[in-house]
Structure 1
Amino acid sequence: MSEVVVFLGPVLAAMLTAATPLLFAALGELVVEKSGVLNLGVEGMMLAGAVIGFMVAASTGSSTLGFVAAAVAGLAMGALFGVLTLGLLANQVATGLALTLFGVGLSALVGQGWVGRPIQDVPELRIPGLTDLPVIGPALFGQDALVYLGLAMVPAVHWFLFSTRAGLVLRAVGENHAAAHALGYKVVRIRFLAVLFGGAMSGIAGAYLSLDYTPMWAENMTAGRGWIALALVVFSTWKPGRVLLGAWLFGGVTIAQLHVQGHGFAVPSQLLSMLPYLATILVLVAISRDVARIRLNAPACLGKVFHPDG
């Protein structure tokens, strides 16, 4: 029994850290999609945040400045996407895919001189009397500030979307942009602000990987987490609370496959590395069977082009 307790503590703690970048990116994309915009460039924005955040933190010695710079980098990528899709009316799917490819190439070019350089990770917060509790102590009360910020963003996003006038307007734009425009709301401006928020959140998610989870910079280090974050939004049926559950699920699968490899089970490492992505596919297939629920919760104008004069 004691061995199980000793084993579960680190596993739970690692699960929370593995879920944090997914949580940030998915919450940002959820707000974007609630406004009626589909941004498939999450992976590229995460990579931009990861490399810029690492460069700034390594140069200044401040992880705080690194996260701020990463948020700005993600915001800039989001602004580029917003100008192309909301201003120039480019196809959102094609532009999002191009943004991911751009982020992959740009991060590799900018970060080529920083590959493999170690950096001091974000310090963990210790709460006297609570951090030393068995199992839940290190997991719940011995994490870094970004883990708690990610958890706090879940009720914050839920409150904004469902308890504020601004959130109501944003959801109205996502449901019927023509009606919202007729009522005098600035549809393009609202969607652009949502895209900027999503970009900043993706940038922070990427920086968490390079400044805390690893901590180091390596090309394409997001390893598909941006796509998993996109899947989480569908998995959650566009509800923030379910995003948290989904992030924990996929974070748990990621940590489980690492522990299986570490304990030397006779399972091919390639198969174990596939588990998080296989879980993503299986969950999406299961959810896709409930077409009625998806139609009920998905924003009606998701991915549709809006023109004020149209």
Structure 2
Amino acid sequence: MSNVAVSTDAVLPETTVIRSWKTPVALAVFSVLFAVLIFAAPRGGETTFRLSTAQDALALPDLVVPVGATVVVCLVLLALLTALSTYFVRSAGRSPLWLVVLFVVVAIVGFLTWAASGAALPVPGLLSGALTLAVPLIYGALAGVIGERAGVVNIAIEGQLLAGAFTAAIIGTITGQPLLGMVGAMVAGALVAFVLAAFAIKYIVDQVIVGVVLNVLVTGLTSFLYSQVLQPNAATLNTPPRLERLPIPLLSDIPVIGPVLFRQTILVYLMYVIVFVVWFAMFRTRWGLRLRAVGEHPKAADTVGIKVNATRFWNVLLAGAIAGLGGTVFTIGNGIAFNKEMTAGAGFIALAAVIFGQWDPIKATLAALLFGFASSLQNSLSVIGSPVPSEFMLMLPYLVTIFVVAGVVGKSRAPAADGVPYVKS
């Protein structure tokens, strides 16, 4: 028998690195815009950042910074982060998330220093407002992540939020129990999701069209009922109670973050839990594996015995219940009566957070917090009399949405079967 020599120097195929230059280009553009802002409209003096409130057990002194030097330092840091992003893309193909987060933080500090020159900016109030405005976006984003991971595009988040707000207001008013209002809101959101799932999964209607129609339907129905039923009977049907704030001992006394994170309502604390549970379950449990399987490769999932359409159906209902719970923020969460179209497009911003977060619960939550911060910043700068035009401040949350989705996201891929109905052959 002859020996056959086998070469160990086989040529292995080279790994192709796909580079996306969207992130460094976007960071460069916004660095230039920041430079134009501070040099075209220079401001002097000092900016005061108030780090504590009157209720804090441990009060921190105000942070006073010179405007000119601070904005220049921030500009230099933005340029360095842009260069670092370019390096990462060239070597590894993408920019890490921490770099984008750090860029956003530096840009915010620089902009606040410039915009609040000569004034005092309450940092805990700004952050607390950002969290409050972000809560419904986070609930909506989690609903979007669950639905799209299962392969169903949930355009109807806006309708689910609105249905939740409407139902919570009525049940909370009638019973005087905000917790029952929260349960009713979850049922209302699930019912809207049931219609979406029935038409999209059972009858294979285009998912985007069904979602848009549901948004219009819920908006029209709640507006009609508001005008014909709630307004004439506001005292008995549309005076919802407000969820009480429940400070957590010790944690609520931590400077800066204590009042923001740990002097909240049960709705916010529940949000913390749901974010963690959804992330853990999605990537660490059998449920999550099945959920991602039917969204990525439903045929393969069906082959191993997973009931694709049933899995999608029940997860869309779960997503709707979560979105409905988020709608309670608009009414019983703040003790505000229901009004027409009071969600004001929050569901669509939540969808943007899903894309920005690359269909990941934690990243989508961070994106929603960014959008909430943009809205809170608009309110805070208006109060302190910032020179930024009011028209620009009204556009700010939506400009941030466009910025992160179009520029910072980088290369992002939705689940392979997202929006594709599954018909068993």
TM-score (norm. length: structure 1): 0.93
The equivalent of 2:148 in structure 1 is 33
Q: In structure 2, list runs of 5 or more residues that go unmatched.
A: 1-47, 54-121
For 2:319 and 2:390, how far apart are their aligned partners in 1? 34
Structure (1/2) with the larger helix percentage: 1
2:383 aligned to 251, 262, 270, which one? 262
Q: CA deviation at 1:65?
A: 0.6
Match of 1:138 among 226, 240, 259: 259
| Equivalent runs, 1:209-220 vs 2, <5 Å | 209-213=330-334, 215-220=336-341
- In structure 2, the partner of 1:57 is 172
Measure the CA separation in 2 of the matches of 1:133 and 1:284: 34
Residues of 2 paired with 1:213 and 1:26: CA distance?
20
Residue deviations 1:142-172 (CA, integer Å, cap 9, x gap): 1111111112212211111111111101101
Q: Which has the higher contact order (CA 8 A, sep 6+)?
A: 1
Partner of 2:88: none
Report the Cα distance in structure 1 between the residues aligned to 2:134 and 2:126, rounded to whole angstroms: 12
| Aligned twin of 1:121 | 242
SS in 1 for 2:245: coil
CA RMSD of aligned residues (A): 1.7
1:250-277 C-alpha deviation (Å, 9 max, x unpaired): 1111100011122233444343222111
Q: Which amino acid aligns with 1:5?
A: S
Question: 2:126 matched to 1:5?
Answer: no
* CA deviations over 1:30-57 (Å, ceiling 9, x no partner): 0110011111111011111111111110
Counterpart-to-counterpart distance in 2, 1:218 and 1:197: 26
Distance, in Å, in 2 between the alignment partners of 1:304 and 1:2 is: 50
Looking at structure 2, the residues matched to 52 and 14 of structure 1 have their Cα atoms a distance apart, in angstroms, of: 24
More divergent stretch after superposition (208-217 vs 35-44): 208-217
Task: Tell me the CA shift for residue 130 of structure 1.
Answer: 3.7
> Contact conserved, 1:13 with 1:143, CA < 8 A, in 2?
no
Over the matched positions of the two proteins, sequence identity in percent amounts to 37
What residue number does 2:163 align with?
A: 48
Alignment partner for residue 137 of structure 2, among 9, 22, 27? 22
2:373 aligns with one of 252, 259, 278 = 252
1:127 is displaced (CA, Å) by 2.6
Tell me how many residue pairs correspond in the alignment.
Answer: 304
1:105 aligned to which of 213, 216, 220: 220
Could you tell me how far apart the structure 2 residues matched to 1:210 and 1:273 are?
Answer: 22
Does the alignment pair 1:68 with 2:183?
yes
SS at 1:299 equivalent: coil
Separation in structure 2 between the aligned mates of residue 173 and residue 249 of structure 1, nearest angstrom: 30
Q: Which has the larger radius of gyration?
A: 2
Is there any run of 5+ residues in structure 1 with no aligned partner, and where? none
Deviation at 1:205, TM superposition (A): 1.1
CA 1:2–1:252: 2 relative to 1, 3 Å = closer
Q: Match of 1:151?
A: 272
Answer yes or no: is 1:304 the counterpart of 2:423: no
